[in-house]
Amino acid sequence: MPDFSNETVNQWNAQLRTQSPLDIVRWAIAQAGGRALVSTNFRPYEAAILHLAVQAQADLPVLWVDHGYNRPATYRHAEELTARLKLNLKPYLPRVTAAHRDAIHGPIPTTEDEAGLKKFSAVMKLEPFQRGMKELAPTVWITALRKVQNPNRAGLDIVSADENFGALKVSPFFYCSDAELDTYLAQHQLPNEWDYFDPAKADEKRECGLHAAWGKKAVNA
Amino acid sequence: MSEKIANLTTDTFQSAITSATTPVLVDFWAPWCGPCKAIAPILEELAAELDGKLKIVKVNIDENDGIAVEYGVRAIPTMILFKGGAVAETLVGMMPKAALKAKVAAHV
């Protein structure tokens, strides 16, 4: 397995910073020796990374963990994109069905039940994802990760070495804004689906904070 | 937007809250807020499921900042449940439909 030194990764990031997302994904595929994949959860804007990825390699495997708790709209969106983009979809499902889990453990744990949520994530998301990565064994893992989604997570960049799976993680849209992705979707007439919720994502943005000015106004009112 | 969910403005807000015969859930939102867009379809479903027991309305805070400031809205979506014209519950952030329905159903 190729060893990616920090220096190499830094050089790649510097080099790719000025390249288009399409050139970045082409570069990623070229590194992969035929073993690249893209992972998705069909959340808002995922149509962009899936469209981009299949431009570079039409039969690129698409790893999707279907934890069983998606909104119906998300499943319809997944079907629509799979058909339209002719995705080589590789769904990985938990070893226990949603109905079975619900019958034994009740409703999806809320954010107040950290331990419950962690267990939910482990069984319904992480285990199938790990199984998928082990079976598909990619050398390059393409994602839709963007800086705006996780501003507090430093150390991420277009390219990073993923130690968990021993793959090179490449995020072609890393520096793109929502507006830039809106443009991409419009240019390629791709659908977007906002009706989406992932109960197991502890760090997902569930709200938008208003400006400091608002806060001051509310305090002084 | 379904016909079951009305958009309130600064002018229509007070009378809508005080004249309602059922509890009212006010969704403070803005067009640029992703989580607001995610919860919108859930609110549409709840409006249909709880029709007659609960009224759901929306306030666009970009266009009606006065109401948002008055009720101390600091993040969106913020959903405030009014009963008899008074605040009964404040919920902030996107959440699963089952969780939102449970919180709201406790009051209707």
Active-site entry in B6, B33, B40, B108: B33
Let me know if residue A194 belongs to a domain. Answer: yes
A73 touches chain B (CB under 8 A): yes
Let me know if residue A22 belongs to a domain. Answer: yes
Read off the CATH number of the domain in which A108 is found.
3.40.50.620
- Is residue A211 scored above 70 in pLDDT? no
The model's pTM is: 0.86
Residue matched to tokens 């059922």: B22
- The total domain count for chain A is 1
B33 is catalytic: yes
Let me know if residue A202 belongs to a domain. Answer: yes
Residue matched to tokens 């079951």: B4
Residues A8, A203, A147: CA angle, nearest 5 degrees: 40
Query: What is the percentage of chain A residues whose pLDDT exceeds 90?
Result: 76
Let me know if residue A160 belongs to a domain. Answer: yes
Confidence category of residue A220, pLDDT binned at 50, 70, 90? very low
Let me know if residue A1 belongs to a domain. Answer: no
B83 touches chain A (CB under 8 A): no
Mean pLDDT, to the nearest integer, of A46-64? 98
Query: A33-42, A191-200, A201-210, B62-71: which has the highest mean pLDDT?
Result: A33-42
B88 is catalytic: no
B52 touches chain A (CB under 8 A): no
DSSP classification of residue A26: H
DSSP classification of residue A95: S
Q: Which residues of A touch B101 (CB under 8 A)?
A: none
Residue A29: give the domain boundaries: 6-220
- Note whether B37 contacts A44, CB cutoff 8 Å: yes
| Average pLDDT across chain A, whole number | 91
Let me know if residue A93 belongs to a domain. Answer: yes
Let me know if residue A168 belongs to a domain. Answer: yes
Q: pLDDT tens across B28-75, in order?
A: 999 989 899 999 999 999 999 999 999 999 999 999 999 999 999 999
Query: What's the pLDDT at A93?
Result: 98
Q: DSSP string spanning A30-70?
A: HHTTT-EEEEE---TTHHHHHHHHHHH-TT-EEEEE--S--
Q: Which two tokens stand for residue A23?
A: 């050139």
Confidence category of residue A213, pLDDT binned at 50, 70, 90? very low
- Note whether A206 contacts B93, CB cutoff 8 Å: yes
Let me know if residue A190 belongs to a domain. Answer: yes
Query: What's the pLDDT at A42?
Result: 97
Annotate B47-82 with b (16+ C-beta within 10 A) or e (fewer).
beebeeebbbbbbbbeebbebbbebbbbbbbbbbbb
- Note whether B38 contacts A197, CB cutoff 8 Å: yes
- Is residue A216 scored above 50 in pLDDT? no
